[in-house]
Amino acid sequence: MSQPSQLSTEHPDKPVIPAVNYLNADRGVWSWLTTIDHKRIGVMYLVSVLIAFLLGGIFAMALRLELLTPGPTIMGANTYNRMFTLHGVVMIFLFMIPAIPGVFGNFLLPLMLGAKDVAFPRLNLLSLYLYWTGATLALSGMIMGGTDTGWTFYAPYSTTTPMTLFPVLLGVFILGFSSILTGLNFIVTVHTLRAPGMGWMRLQLFVWAIYATSIIQVLATPVIGLTVMLIGIEKVGHFGLFDPSRGGDPVLFQHMFWFYSHPAVYIMVLPSMGVISEAIAAFARKNIFGYKMIAYSSLGIAFVGFFAWGHHMFVSGQSSLDNGAFAAISMLVGVFTAIKVFNWVATLYRGSIAVKTPLVYICGFLFFVVFGGMTGIAVATVSLDVHWHDTYFVIAHFHFIMVGAVIMAFLIALHYWFPKMFGRMYHEGWGMVAASLIVLGFNATFIPQFLLGNAGMPRRYYIYPERYQALNVASTAGASLLAFGFLIILIYLIYALVRGPIAGDNPWDSRGYEWMTTSPPPKHNFDVTPVITQDSHSYQEPGEEVEHVVI
Amino acid sequence: MSSSEGGLTKPHLAHHFETIEKQDYAVRLGMWLFLGTEVLLFAGLFLGYTVYRHFYYEAFHQASRHLALWAGTTNTIVLITSSLSVALAYHAIKQNKKKQCAALLIFTILCAFVFLGIKAFEYREKFLEGALPGAHYHFAEVTAPGANLYYTIYFLSTGLHAIHVIVGMSILIWILARVLKGEFSATNYVPVELGGLYWHLVDLVWIFLFPLLYLI
Amino acid sequence: MAHEPAQTEAGKAEHHGHGAGRYWLVWAVLLACTGLTVYTGHYHPSIVVALVIAIFKASLVVLFFMHMTEAPGTNRLVFSVSLVFTMVLMLGVFGDLLTRNPMSLPGGAPPSEFHAAP
């Protein structure tokens, strides 16, 4: 790749932040609000999703505090319903779905492709505005309307609850639109803006992951858009589509809802797997093992994920035929995930491991994705899920993936690419402390929940029998540790932003393409369009043979 | 971007695309992806139709007979013709025939108005008869169970479709304005093509809605 | 970035060899199909016939009005995939509804010929 002359590899003794970079190229709030620079949009997404995460976390802590005692603790039943609805909607629609694609997809995709921007920069800005609009509407709608249906909005409760639903549903619809446009943008970007020499098999695995995610976003999100609007219309107009008293079928709602919401979890998890592929190669200083298999398995997960939605409906009255079919297909996803895990571990093996903060999270990720994935196979088994459905077992399962895998990956991305985005380095010691707290706290929060669910404690209940208290207290204690860990991260990252040591262009000495420009990058990414002559993350010595997977 | 009457115009090349060919490919792919999302959007309503028609066939059959077949047929012809005119408009601008393109776009937009007008008439009829969705149903002539759901599906699908007609019409009006300003020519016509593609989707959805609602 | 207008004009004439005629022909066929669908729908209603005709009409619109015959493979793939997943949605849901216990069906009506075991 042709290099700009400010690279710190040419000035190894004195890392510098380029005098003019994307952060200061144009000044003023207005220049940020009207930007079409994908990097600035990524940074604005970062601030937004972090606020959303903070809110979602506060709601979670409220729930955990309530569950400290078997009886009512700090809130009544209705408030509890509203609280878990807030927690679910905020975490899923305002954080998990947009986070990694919106922040890191936006920031990195063009850099990793050798492009100057995404395919449709103004559409990208529109996506951000839609996110802000939808998020505001959904949040205010829930707070002022008292939404108490859970994030799943099941009919017939959602269509008959006296609580106001239309604003939050409209908010979710708008958020969906934001997601669709982002996915569309990314797909076209990958197809049309690759630098010369970058064939599909040279794409970085994070790009493959974002690409597969974008396909899901484009295909699945319209269905949820329609479905939530149908509930909204039903509430206002009483059209009877899901109302049994008018001949409708409430399970039809579940089908339509989960047709999106199951692939949605792959929107959340695929980008995080992409992050892992990048970080593992960098922190093991080794070419990723089984590049093709990882790339194809991303597409495989995206594809198979569309056929599995009925596993959320095993006890809804769905037919045995569908139950069996959905169960079998759901287990297929495990195959693709296992392929990835094997390849990641094989990459670590005999690698030159740098024990840094991201690596602690990587280890956490690997453990949580395997454990969470295996419990996924377990709940995909119909005869077992009959007992576990709507208990804390399921909650623990999906939090293992959503927090244990996705949020770990988000933190890895945040730490790994922090110097890239801001040119500064965080404090490694505090990073390790926080990482340990988080991994520990996570285990302490959710392992008790597996036990609780298996012992029969139902989800979304604000009171419970005495015998469940010990485990609930343990879970809340763990959650407090988690919260503490996140707080520490927030503090040292903000500190690093303003007073952190200058990182230089490539502090990790990573060989991903995005590191071949300055940190922070210039406004137009590359002064000269790079020409790609070798695979990304190529850590072999010149002339050295690289192990290839032979299938 | 604009030029003297009859002259050729240059398309605007965005800073991040290397060539105009790449940019054209990108915007076309983007539009097809968007059309794909629209298909999935309507999919849910077609699903609802499939499900409820199966279980309430008698009601659906009877209710379908009570729709104004002349209105539906006319609307189908109107939309198909508007698809023709927008395709011809695209063909015209590729040959630098700007006035012809504008005239054809105007014709297409007029077709859209006619379609909406007939639809409004049909909706009004339903209101008067009481053939309304769900809780509001009180149409005496069709009493088979599930008839109210037929009208639920009818209003939801034709309503969503009408919204898309309005959106498509607005896009075409915007394109028309740019044609009249002289922005497009034989060397700069991709936006006309994209507007046309969206309009064709509107036609496509109706091609399915018509027989499923009026002729079962 | 600059186009040579004369060059492109000549190129256009070659590239778009087909005239407007084919659009008119497709339009005529579409109208004929509309007539056919009205006739069969009115006198011999059959969802299968209606769908076959509709699919044929839709194919004409997609292939000729929307230039799918000349489109790059990616665009074709995109559109086809969206249709495939629509089918997946229908199959999964309808499969459930056809094989459910009759008591949990909309309207409580039994499915036409399949009775699931209680």
pLDDT in tens, A358-400: 999 999 999 999 999 999 999 999 999 999 999 999 999 999 9
- Per-residue pLDDT reduced to its tens digit, A321-338: 999 999 999 999 999 999
pLDDT-based confidence at C7, cuts 50/70/90?
very low
For residue B134, name the pLDDT band (cuts at 50, 70, 90).
confident
Distance between CA A441 and CA A445 in Å, rounded?
A: 6
Q: Nearest C-alpha of chain A: how many angstroms from B103?
A: 30
Give the nearest chain C residue to B215 (CA atoms).
C41
Chain B touched by A252 (CB under 8 Å):
yes
pLDDT (0 to 100) of residue A12? 54
Q: A78-87, B50-59, B192-201: lowest mean pLDDT where?
A: B50-59
For A14-28, A79-93, A256-270, which range has the lowest pLDDT when averaged over its residues?
A14-28
Residue A154 has pLDDT above 70, yes or no: yes
Test mutation, B13, B101, B187, B202, chain C, max C CBs within 10 A: B187
Q: Is the pLDDT of residue B145 over 90?
A: no
Q: Identify the CA nearest to A188 among candidates A273, A130, A96, A124.
A: A124
pLDDT reported for residue A391: 97
Q: Which H, E and C letters describe C34-96, residue by residue?
A: HHHHHHHHHHCCCHHHHHHHHHHHHHHHHHHHCCHHHCCHHHHHHHHHHHHHHHHHHHHHHHH
pLDDT band at C1 (very low <50, low <70, confident <90, very high): very low
The structural domains of chain C, with segments of one domain joined by +, span 21-70, 72-106
Q: Does the domain formed by A29-516 have CATH 1.20.210.10?
A: yes
Distance from CA of A322 to the nearest CA of C (A): 6
Mean model confidence pLDDT for chain A: 93
Summarize the confidence of residues A65-82 as an average pLDDT.
96
DSSP-based three-state secondary structure for A186: helix
What is the least distance, in Å, from the CA of A191 to any CA of chain B? 8
What is the residue whose two structure tokens read 């297929």? A332
Query: Is residue A73's pLDDT more than 50?
Result: yes
The minimal CB distance from B26 to the residues A119, A248, A256 is found for A119
pLDDT computed for residue A541 by the predictor: 76
The pLDDT assigned to C109 comes to 52
Sequence spans of domains, chain B = 20-214
pLDDT of residue C115: 46
Q: Convert the pLDDT of each residue in A215-254 to its tens digit.
A: 999 999 999 999 999 999 998 888 889 988 888 999 999 9
- Give residue B142's pLDDT: 83
Note whether ipTM > 0.85 here.
yes
Cα nearest neighbour of B152 on chain A: A239
- Per the DSSP assignment, residues forming a β-bridge with A391 are A458
- pTM metric for this prediction: 0.93
Between CA A277 and CA A264 the distance in angstroms is: 21
User: Would the pLDDT of B78 be above 80?
Assistant: yes
In this prediction, residue C15 carries a pLDDT of: 45
Contact B200, C67 (CB under 8 A): no
Query: What's the token pair of residue A390?
Result: 């709507």
Q: For residue A267, is pLDDT > 80?
A: yes
A138 close to A48: Cβ distance less than 8 angstroms: no
Strand partners, A502: A424
How do residues A501-551 score in pLDDT, each as one tens digit? Answer: 999 999 999 998 999 888 899 998 887 788 888 888 888 877 776 655 544
- In sequence order, the β-bridge partners of residue A424 are A502
- pLDDT at residue A3, rounded to an integer: 40
What does the pLDDT average to over A39-59? 97
Q: Tell me the nearest-neighbour CA distance from C117 into chain B, angstroms.
A: 19
Q: Looking at domain B20-214, does it have CATH number 3.30.720.120?
A: no
CB of B50 closer than 8 Å to CB of B185:
no
CA separation (Å) from A7 to A13, A17, A501, C101? 12, 10, 17, 68
Over residues B23-40, mean pLDDT? 96
Distance CA C63, CA A400 (A): 47
Dihedral, CA atoms, A98, A104, A110, A111, nearest 10 degrees?
180
pLDDT averaged over every residue in chain C: 80
Contact A317 C104 (CB under 8 A): yes
As a whole-number percent, the residues of chain A with pLDDT over 90 amount to: 83
The verdict on B66 touching C (C-beta cutoff 8 Å) is no
Write out the residues of chain B at the interface with chain A, using a CB-CB cutoff of 8 A: 14-18, 22, 25-26, 29-30, 33-34, 36-38, 40-41, 43-45, 47-48, 51-52, 55-56, 133-136, 145-146, 148-149, 152-153, 155-156
Mean pLDDT of chain B: 92
From residue C25, give the alpha-carbon distance in Å to each of A420, A507, A538, B79: 58, 65, 57, 16
pLDDT of B48 over the 80 cut: yes
Examine the pLDDT at B4 and tell me if it is beyond 50.
Answer: no
Regarding predicted confidence, which is higher, A317 or A46?
A46
Task: Give the model confidence (pLDDT) of A193-220 as tens digits.
Answer: 999 999 999 999 999 999 999 999 999 9
Query: Which residues from A are below 8 Å from C104, CB to CB?
Result: 251, 317
User: Of the candidates A252, A234, A131, A332, which has an alpha carbon nearest to the alpha carbon of residue C96?
Assistant: A252
3-state SS, residue A458: strand
Q: Are the CB atoms for C83 and C73 separated by under 8 Å?
A: no
pLDDT (average), residues B111-129: 95
* Predicted pLDDT of residue A446: 97
Query: What pLDDT was estimated at residue B130?
Result: 86
DSSP C111: P
State the pLDDT confidence band at C108, using cuts at 50, 70 and 90.
low
